[in-house]
Amino acid sequence: MRVILFCHSLLSDWNHGNAHFLRGVVTELAVRGHAVRVLEPSDAWSLQNLLEEPLGLAALGELRAMYPHVRPERYAPDALDLEAVLDGADLVLVHEWTPPDLVRRIGRHRRDGGRFRLLFHDTHHRRMSSPEAMAASDLSRYDGVLAFGDVLRDLYLERGQAQRAWTWHEAADVRVFHPHPRNREVRDLVWIGNWGDDERTKELEAFLLEPVHALGLTARVHGVRYPAPALRALFDAGIEYAGWLPNHRVPMAFSQARVTVHIPRRPYATLLPGIPTIRPFEALACGIPLVSAPWEDAEGLFTAGQDYLVARDGAQMRRHLSALVADAEMRHAFAMAGLRTVLSRHTCAHRVEELLGICQSLGMSGDVLRPQSSERVFV
C-alpha cells in the first residue's frame, strides 16, 4: 500500500505531541512492507522552535537514528505539486494541523477522480473548543475521520461534518517506549509536560507543585513554554526545571524516577472526557507508576486502581505519592499492570491493525493491505 501522510511535523516534537504517535504509526506501516511518504511544511513552527534549542540539532541527529523509517519531506506550501504527490497513492491521511487550504485542495483532488482513500485525523480539542477555526477545513470529499476518542467521533457524526468517523486512539510506540533498568532511580518524581496556555495552571498547582512541596519529594519537570511566574512556582516548590526534552529521551527520564503524574489539560478533562492524550500511554509503556489527576476513562482504556492511581484532589495526590515513594513492591505492581495493559491493547501495532481494518471496510483489497514484510510483530 502506498500511503501519503500530511502533518505539521514528524521531525519535531517541540510542544507537538502529535509527532509521538504518528512516528510510531509510520514506522509500523513501513516494517509491514507499506511505502509511506510523509510531507510537512518547511515553515513548521514546531521545527523552528526545536532548532532554537541548544540541543536541537543533536536531537534531530538522534531522531534519525532512532526512527530510520521516518524521513519526512519538507515542502513550501505555495510550491507543492499536489497532483504529483498524490499520483499512485492508495491511502492519504491528513492530520488536523494541516492548513485548511491544503485540506480543501486534497479533498478536491479526491472529488475530481482521485482513486485513493482519504481520511482526516483529528487529535485535538479544537473541534470542540474552537469550532469556527476547524470549520475552515472542508471534509465533504473525505471518506471519513479518524478521531482520537468516542466523544470527538460522535461530534463529527452528530454535526454532519463527516460521512463516516471512527475512534482511533493514540497509543505507545513500544519500539521506543519500553522499560529501562530502574536501578538508576535518582529522584522521586518526574513530570513531562508543557505549561501551555493556562489550560491547567490551577491543576498543576494542586496536583504537582503543592504535593511535591508538602512531601519534600525530589522532583524534576521537563517541558517548554514556562513563563516566569511558572518557573518561580517550580522553584518555590523545590522542583528542578530541566527544560525541553526530546521525546525519544523520555523513557530514560522515566527510568530515573520512582513515579510520574498525569495532569490533563482542562479541555480534555471537561470538553472531551475519555481522551487521555499520549502521555499516559507512553508512561505506562515505560513501566513507571502513574498517578493521574481526575479524568473520566469513559472508554475503558485502562483499569483505574490497577493500572494507575487516580487522585480526586490534592490531598489524595499527596497520599498516593507518599505511599508509592515509600513502597517499592507497590510501585512494581502498578508498573507491571500498566505495562501489561499497554502491550495487550495500546501499541502502535494495534492501531495499525485497526487502520487496516478501516481501510478494508472502505473497499481496499487484501493484497494492498497485507503486503509481504520482513518484520511484522506485535510487541
> Is the same domain home to 206 and 318?
yes
> Is the same domain home to 155 and 191?
no
Sign (positive or negative) of CA dihedral 361, 362, 368, 373: negative
> Is the same domain home to 337 and 352?
no
Q: Based on the number of CB atoms within 10 Å of its own CB, is 33 exposed (0-12), middle (13-18) or buried (19 or more)?
A: middle
Residue at 375 is within a domain: no
Residue at 45 is within a domain: yes
β-strand partners of 220: 190, 240
Residue at 179 is within a domain: no
| Per-residue cell: 10 | 514528524
Task: Please tell me the predicted confidence (pLDDT) of residue 61.
Answer: 95
**CATH code for the domain in which residue 329 is found:** 3.40.50.2000
Residue at 282 is within a domain: yes
135 Cβ neighbours under 8 A, 6+ residues apart: none
Task: Please tell me the predicted confidence (pLDDT) of residue 146.
Answer: 98
CA 79 centroid distance within chain:
29
> Is the same domain home to 329 and 193?
yes
When divided into structural domains, the chain yields a total of 2
> Is the same domain home to 239 and 286?
yes
> Is the same domain home to 102 and 152?
yes
Distance CA 254, CA 270 (A): 28
Q: In what order do the strands lie in the sheet with 165-167?
A: 73-75, 35-41, 2-6, 91-95, 117-122, 144-147, 165-167
User: What type of residue sits at position 64?
Assistant: R
Domain that holds residue 308: 187-344
Distance CA 242, CA 159 (A): 43
Residue at 285 is within a domain: yes
230-267 pLDDT tens trace? 999 999 999 999 999 999 999 999 999 999 999 988 77
Residue at 177 is within a domain: no
> Is the same domain home to 265 and 354?
no
- Measured CA to CA in angstroms, residue 144 lies from 99, 156, 201 at distances of 18, 10, 35
β-strand partners of 189: 219, 259
Listing DSSP states for 186-244 in one string gives -EEEEEE----SSSSHHHHIIIIIHHHHHHT--EEEE-S---HHHHHHHHHTTEEE---
CB 167 within 8 A of CB 188: no
Distance CA 356, CA 343 (A): 19
User: What type of residue sits at position 1?
Assistant: M
Task: Please tell me the predicted confidence (pLDDT) of residue 133.
Answer: 62
> Is the same domain home to 18 and 161?
yes
Distance CA 37, CA 85 (A): 9
Residue at 27 is within a domain: yes
> Is the same domain home to 109 and 233?
no
Residue at 250 is within a domain: yes
> Is the same domain home to 351 and 340?
no
| Per-residue cell: 144 | 471519513
User: What type of residue sits at position 264?
Assistant: P
Mean pLDDT by 10 residues, the chain (379 residues): 97 95 98 97 97 96 95 94 96 95 96 95 74 76 96 92 95 97 90 84 95 98 95 98 97 97 81 85 98 93 97 97 98 98 98 98 94 48
Task: Please tell me the predicted confidence (pLDDT) of residue 266.
Answer: 76
| Per-residue cell: 116 | 485513493
| Per-residue cell: 255 | 527510568
User: What type of residue sits at position 194?
Assistant: N
| Per-residue cell: 39 | 510531507
Task: Please tell me the predicted confidence (pLDDT) of residue 58.
Answer: 96
> Is the same domain home to 109 and 221?
no
Distance CA 339, CA 334 (A): 8
> Is the same domain home to 28 and 13?
yes
Q: Comparing C-alpha atoms, which of 169, 199, 164 is closest to residue 21?
A: 169
40 Cβ neighbours under 8 A, 6+ residues apart: 6, 7, 8, 9, 10, 11, 47, 72, 73, 74, 75
